[in-house]
Structure formats: structure tokens, C-alpha cells
Structure 1
Amino acid sequence: MGKEDLTISEAMQGIDKNSFGILFLTDSNGRMSGCITDGDIRRFLLAGGGMEDPAIEAAERHPRYATDMEEAEILYHKKNYIVIPILNEDRVIIDLYCGKSLTEHRTRNSLKVPVVINAGGKGTRLDPFTRVLPKPLIPVGDLPIIELIMQEYRSYNCDEFHIIVNYKKELMKAYFSDNEANYNITWYDEEKPLGTGGGLSLLRGKLKNTFFFANCDALLTANYEEMLQFHRENRNVITMICAYKNINIPYGVVEMGENGVITNMKEKPLMSFLTNTGIYIVEPEVIDDIDDDEAIGFPDIIEREKQKGKKVAVFPVSENDWMDMGQLPELEKMRKKLFEE
């Protein structure tokens, strides 16, 4: 629970800290005034809202609630609710009903969308591990990162994989040739490094429909169905999945005007900004705009598509939904988060 005067940024942090994916807002007297989820925040931001705006502006002002546990159980199982708050006569939350299992309602629809994974880089940020193994095969717990990524897509019935390889590619192929999971993989060999986007030219004519495109060092646990729906409804040629990063500046920040006049001061402010996760939803026409053997980063491809007047957009997700293993400290954080060690 949180106070209704929280900002959007603060509400996001509150949501990330609980296991329900929802935050109930209360007034100064502790009475429930609304509830807010990641989806509410996303819609608010996409409509032009800001991170410092009051969370109550994005919240559901009249959420369903119960007055006792029996009523809560009936409501919870009547519809696909995440959690039902139980209020007393003063509208103060006295308990929460979340069913018998937190995973009970996390059913996933079949998307059947192809997945392209760029796994050709050297992974220099993970040196010296990548002197022995290619970055996609660096283990996180019991499995390499690329297989964890593929399992996430498989949970949506996305089981057609196209993997672009270069550095230590024979090790990659050997690992999957001996893998009991029997992944459906088509391999594409780069003859020279083509950057984070150029390797897509190897797939020219291979894909006829929308596809996911991902780097091999990021695991995303957000709702892929919502991303795909957003992409299609807005008729984007590329949708970039971005995560909000919230960083506390441990100093007082001063803004200065002409002649040194202080225009604003903030004590240890919270800074929020969007970060590219390296995961995209792409239309096949983008591949036709990449020349054969062209070395280019995918952000440069996005800029080129924009210059051509094509529609590209951002789908924002929570920082908590994005795990990046591109650096050793982040790799350890990912392991602890996935396996709760």
C-alpha cells in the first residue's frame, strides 16, 4: 500500500517491491482511494503523463473490494483479478485475498510469432568468461542465458527460432544439437561482424509476418501479448521495448540560470529515464531496407525507418521486468532474482 500523493515514479518502485504487481493507494486517514498497476502506468505515460505526476491520476479510483474473506474469495474466482482488498467499515484495508497461488491466473495465450535472436557478438563486457564461451552460453544458474530467453518465448508458444551467430558459433550449435528440449532453430552465419542490426539481412525472404527480435543478453518477463497487441493496434513497423530506470542521485542537485542565479534545488532527487532493453517487435519489411553485408546497429535502423516516415514507437515496461546480463555485476543480480538465492 502507498499514500495517494506518491508520484508515478514512486508508485512504480512500490509495485516492483511486491509480488502482486499492484499497489493500493490510501488517503491521509488510511482509507483506500484507488489502485494502480504497471498497465495503468503504461497507459498514463503513453497518453502523455509524466513520471513526477501524482500516481492517483493514473489509478483506478473505484477498484473492487470485499468486506470479508468469503466475499473476497467469491469475487476473486468470479473474474481474473490479481488480488481483492478487504475493507472495514471505514474503508481501511485490513487484509488481502490473492487465491491459493500467485501463478493461478498467469495463463498465457498462444502467440505463435517467430523469434530472431542476435547471438553473434563477442561479449567483451563479460571478459574473461567469453574467452572460453560465447556470451549466449554463459550460465545463469543451471541454464545459459539464451536458453532462459527461449523458454520465456516458448511459454507463449513462440517456438520458431532464428539465431544469428558468429563468434564461437560451433559451440553454440553443438550445445543445441545435444539439447533434449529439441528447439526448432534455423541458424544464420555471419561471415563478418554486422552489428546489432545488420545480421537481419541474412533473413531476407525468410519471414513473412511480424517477429520478435532480441539481443542474447537480456531477459524480459513483461507481458509479451500486451506488447504485440500494442504493436499491431498502432501499426508500427518497429516497437522498441524500453524499461524505466530509476536512479537516486545521492547529492543535492542545483539548477543555475544567468549570472549564477539559482533557479531550482532538489535534495537527492530520483531521476527516471527510458532504457533500451535490446528487444523489439519488427515487421519483415524492415529487413528489405538493410543492404547485404551492411554492418549497422539496430538503433540506426530505427532512425533510418523514422526518416523514411515509417511508424516506430516505444512500449514501456517496469525496470523490474528487465534483467540484463551484459556486465558481471548484473549477471549476478539476474542469477539471484531468477533463483531467489
Structure 2
Amino acid sequence: MSLKDLFISKELSIRDALEKLDKTAKKILLVMKDEKLQGIITDGDIRRWILDNGDLNENVELAMNKSPIFIFEKDVIRAKEILNEKMIEAIPVLNKNHNVVDIIYWNEKFNRKLNYYKKLNNPVVIMAGGKGTRLAPYTKILPKPLIPIGDIPIVERIINRFYEYGCSNYYMTVNYKKNMIKAYFDEKEKPYQINYVEEEKPLGTAGSLHLLKGIIKDTFFVSNCDILIEGNYSGMLKYHKENNNKITLISSLKHYTIPYGVIEIDKNSVVKGMMEKPEYDYLVNTGMYILEPDCLNDIPDNTFYHITELISHYIDKGEKVGVYPIQENSWLDMGQFKEMEIMIEKLGIRNE
């Protein structure tokens, strides 16, 4: 991929810019005019636009950063210092004529994830007690958390992603075929600690969290065991803290096109109009959350209880429930065979 693949015009739609960010996987696009830098747009800029209920059909110019941080070629030796000081993923390099000649990325200079904290010490709860019926007959033999993606079980991939940011304390809720899960991890040499939360009966996506009351005392992550989220986990926690949320839902932007003409009628069944193949954008729940520890007090004891019920409870009480959007391609769901194949393909691990 060449540098010019990251160049866009300010007239490009925000939706098209989002697709280009997904395709390039560089987290930054350069808005150019007459070979001069006009601004940049990142996934963070688009996230803020979405949270402000901005229309994705609008031009990039409305969402871009018009005063981006950049560095001149003669000062490129300071790139690492500036990236670290400003805590940014990438910095454009300009020549004396203000033409963009390069981009320097955080991971090229530091060879690690951009972490807004020294490291994340926050606990991670992985909900791994379900039967995974959508993946039968595989799950008749293996518990869903141990279904391999490449040659690594899905739950281990989830743990590895959190570990990249420093998380080393994991709680895994288990029920179905729990001994197989425990045996797998007990035999592994690992630089992190797994604590098992054993359900005597299925308790839903939140019921087993009550068993952690008094144990988890810090802000914590919760993840389903069949998803992979590509994103800055440290940035998610930072957003959660800065907004004083009780719960933050990690959501994915989903774009849908109805492949038909949609008819609108009035109360007398008279056609008022038609829309040809209308398009819609939604924020959907990925199955990953950030919670405050006092949430554990509001989960009923020994009761089948979904996390969506807890969220509705807080919404009704007027508690602050936030959302952190990620790009559509940053959420991989293994829940069905088709999605599992897509996950394997996107991760590029067929020959791993």
C-alpha cells in the first residue's frame, strides 16, 4: 500500500471514509487539496461524529481534524517523542513545501499498543458458561470457548488481546463442559491468572456476575466468549472513565441496505411514496462491556439474568449508560458457522 492510498478529498462522504479506514487498516486518512494537507480523519474523529448523531452521508470536512499534529522532515528524529507526548497513533511528515512525504506510526516506534495508562490492571470477566447451540455439532464435543480459530481457541485469543494492554487478572464464568476448559488452561504456561466462577445452573449473561460481588473492586471489562474486538482497549476505558458511565457498551456501526423498493402508506392504505433500496445505519451491541464494580450489587442472587436487563434497569433509574462505537470490521462474531469462517478469513490464520 502506498502513501497516496491514504489520501482523500474533503468532499468524500464520512461513510466512504469509514470504509476506507476499514480497508487500509491504518487508523488515519489524510485530507488533501493540491497536494497539501488540509486535515486528517481517524476512527476517533468518526466515533465522535457518530456520538453527536452526525449523518454519515455528510462530507469528511465536517468531521475531520482541521488542525492536525504533523512534523517536518528535518525534525523527524523527534517523532517518537511527539507520538508519546500527544498519545496519538500516527503523525504525518511534511517537507519544506508542506507536501506529505511520509507517516510515522506509533507501533513502528514503540512496537507495542498505545496505552493511555502505564498498563491496564483492570479485571476481565469472560462469559464462557453457555452451550453454544448455534455451533452444534462442534459444541457437542468441545465447549464453545475452546473452538479453535486457527490453532488457538477463541477464548485464548480474547485473553491475548486484553493481555497486550496489560490485563493479567481474568475471571471466567463456566458451566457447560467446564472441566475441559479448566484442564486446557491448567496445562498451559501463561503469564496471567485465570479464576473460575462456576455456575451451578445457567444464569444468563449477567447472573453469574453476582458471584463476583465483593471480589472485583475496580472498573472491569466483560466479554462474551465468542467475539473478537479490534480496538484500543485502553482508549475504551479512558472514554468510560472520562464520561463517568455506570456501564459502557462497546458497539459496532452496522450499515444495512434494503434490497427492495420500500413502500410507505397512509392509514387508508393509500401509497404515500416509495424509497428505492433505502440504507440505514445502526449501532449494535457487540457483547463487550465496561462496568463499575458497584453494578455487582444490582444483580439478583442465583437468578437467570441478562446484562441487557441490568442496562435497562439503569436506564430506567436515570443512571448513565454510555456507548463506544467501533468500526464494523473491528467486530468479529463466531456465533455461527458462517461468521466463524469470516473470522478465520479476516484474521488471516488459515495456515497458522
- Give structure 2 stretches of 5+ with no counterpart: 1-6
Deviates more, 1:138-147 or 1:74-83: 74-83
Answer whether contact 1:76 1:84 (CA < 8 A) is retained.
Answer: no
Letter in 2 for 1:337: K
Letter in 2 for 1:35: I
Query: Aligned partners of 1:124 and 1:246: how far apart in 2?
Result: 27
SS at match of 1:206: coil
Answer whether contact 2:71 2:91 (CA < 8 A) is retained.
Answer: no
Residue of structure 1 in register with 2:28 after alignment = 22
Distance change >3 Å, CA 104–CA 340, structure 1 → 2 = farther
Question: How far is 1:194 from its partner?
Answer: 0.8
Is 2:226 the counterpart of 1:217?
A: yes
- Counterpart among 137, 143, 161 of residue 146 in structure 2: 137
Query: Aligned partners of 1:75 and 1:249: how far apart in 2?
Result: 50
Per-residue deviation, residues 156-185 of structure 1 (Å, max 9, x unmatched): 211111111010001011111101115311
Is 2:40 the counterpart of 1:35?
A: yes
- Counterpart among 83, 98, 102 of residue 104 in structure 2: 98
Question: How far is 1:63 from its partner?
Answer: 3.0
SS at match of 2:170: strand
Letter in 2 for 1:61: K
Letter in 2 for 1:17: K
Query: Aligned partners of 2:244 and 2:228: how far apart in 1?
Result: 25
Query: Aligned partners of 1:22 and 1:269: how far apart in 2?
Result: 29
Residue of structure 2 in register with 1:79 after alignment = 82
Question: How far is 1:118 from its partner?
Answer: 0.8
Deviates more, 1:195-204 or 1:112-121: 195-204
SS at match of 2:180: helix
Matches within 5 A, 1:159-170: 159-170=168-179
Residue of structure 2 in register with 1:179 after alignment = 188
Answer whether contact 2:119 2:165 (CA < 8 A) is retained.
Answer: yes
Answer whether contact 1:76 1:83 (CA < 8 A) is retained.
Answer: yes
Question: How far is 1:201 from its partner?
Answer: 1.5
Letter in 2 for 1:19: A
Question: How far is 1:103 from its partner?
Answer: 7.0
Per-residue deviation, residues 299-322 of structure 1 (Å, max 9, x unmatched): 111101222222211111112221
Question: How far is 1:115 from its partner?
Answer: 0.8
Residue of structure 2 in register with 1:197 after alignment = 206
Is 2:275 the counterpart of 1:265?
A: yes
- Counterpart among 46, 61, 67 of residue 62 in structure 1: 67
Residue of structure 2 in register with 1:331 after alignment = 340
Letter in 1 for 2:43: D
SS at match of 2:318: coil
Distance change >3 Å, CA 176–CA 101, structure 1 → 2 = closer
Answer whether contact 2:127 2:174 (CA < 8 A) is retained.
Answer: yes
Residue of structure 1 in register with 2:328 after alignment = 319
Answer whether contact 1:20 1:102 (CA < 8 A) is retained.
Answer: no
- Counterpart among 31, 53, 58 of residue 48 in structure 1: 53
- Give structure 1 stretches of 5+ with no counterpart: none
Deviates more, 1:118-127 or 1:176-185: 176-185
Query: Aligned partners of 2:136 and 2:94: how far apart in 1?
Result: 52
Answer whether contact 1:83 1:97 (CA < 8 A) is retained.
Answer: yes
Question: How far is 1:335 from its partner?
Answer: 1.8
Per-residue deviation, residues 134-160 of structure 1 (Å, max 9, x unmatched): 000001112101111111111121111
Is 2:20 the counterpart of 1:11?
A: no
Query: Aligned partners of 1:48 and 1:128: how far apart in 2?
Result: 42
The sequence identity of aligned pairs, in percent, is 40
Matches within 5 A, 1:255-294: 256-258=264-266, 259-262=270-273, 265-266=275-276, 268-294=277-303
Answer whether contact 1:208 1:284 (CA < 8 A) is retained.
Answer: yes
SS at match of 1:180: coil
Q: Scaled by the length of structure 2, what TM-score is found?
A: 0.86
Query: Aligned partners of 1:290 and 1:101: how far apart in 2?
Result: 40
SS at match of 2:176: coil
Answer whether contact 2:203 2:302 (CA < 8 A) is retained.
Answer: yes
Question: How far is 1:113 from its partner?
Answer: 0.1
Query: Aligned partners of 2:251 and 2:126: how far apart in 1?
Result: 17
Deviates more, 1:270-279 or 1:241-250: 241-250
Letter in 2 for 1:4: K
Query: Aligned partners of 2:108 and 2:200: how far apart in 1?
Result: 47
Per-residue deviation, residues 275-303 of structure 1 (Å, max 9, x unmatched): 11111111122111112111011111110
Residue of structure 1 in register with 2:165 after alignment = 156
Query: Aligned partners of 2:202 and 2:315: how far apart in 1?
Result: 25
SS at match of 2:200: coil
